[in-house]
Homo-oligomer: A and B are copies of this chain.
Amino acid sequence: MTIEEFLQLSAGKWFSHRTSHDLALKKSKSGKSDVIVEILPVDHPDVVKLCQQHQIEPGRASCGARVSWNGTVEADATKHTGSTVLVTVPDQNKSNEGQLLQEIVYTEETPFTGRYKIGSDDVLTLTTESENVWAEERLWFASPNLRMRASTLKRSGGFTQASFTSEIRMGGSQAAAPASQAAKSV
């Protein structure tokens, strides 16, 4: 699978169920979100703008996506909503890995660039690194309508958190399967 195929398959609306394990306290916390993934053409103004912010020639972008979410964390009824734009920029001479540009969501964040790589087993690995935090996420499709994600977070003292997410495609999917089949064949 290519990164473009992976993102195309991710397009649509998902019910996302996330559990994080605090590795020091040995406690878990769960959250649920609706997540919408929209594919953006590589000449979309948001894709071009993000490339320019990262001082990358927009023509090198291979795919763009907007990810929006709306959810809650455990008993807290506060809605967490937001969206971000992602752009993939393949390495020259390598088809299965490259840079992952991400829009700055919170103004206090410094802009960062991650890396993506797709393995021979169709597992997508994303790594991001900032001054104090290193994160790795692995994503794959158990089926076209069930996406799995698992990530680890490392700070200067070592790994602090593991997070796991199962995502079930909801109606109105952009995948090959009609929405009416999606619920049955999760």
Contact = CB atoms under 8 A, between A and B. Distances in A.
Interface stretch (A22-30, A51-59, A79-87, A103-111): A22-30
A179 interface: no
A67 interface: no
Nearest to A122: B119
Interface in A130-176: 136, 138, 140, 142-143, 146, 148, 150, 152, 157-159, 162, 164, 166, 168
Interface in A6-21: 15, 17, 19, 21
A40 interface: no
Contacts of A148: 138, 150, 152, 162
Contact of A159 (B17, B19, B143, B158): B143
Q: How many copies does the complex hold?
A: 2
B17 A21 contact: yes
A31 B184 CA distance: 28
Contacts of A138: 121, 123, 138, 140, 148
Nearest to A30: B28
Contacts of A26: 15, 17, 32
A150 B184 CA distance: 22
Contacts of A150: 148, 150, 164
A185 interface: yes
A120 interface: yes
Given A120-B120, A136-B142, A142-B159, 19 more contacts: A15-B26, A17-B26, A19-B28, A19-B30, A23-B146, A28-B30, A117-B121, A121-B121, A121-B123, A123-B138, A138-B138, A138-B140, A142-B152, A143-B159, A148-B152, A150-B164, A158-B185, A162-B164, A162-B166
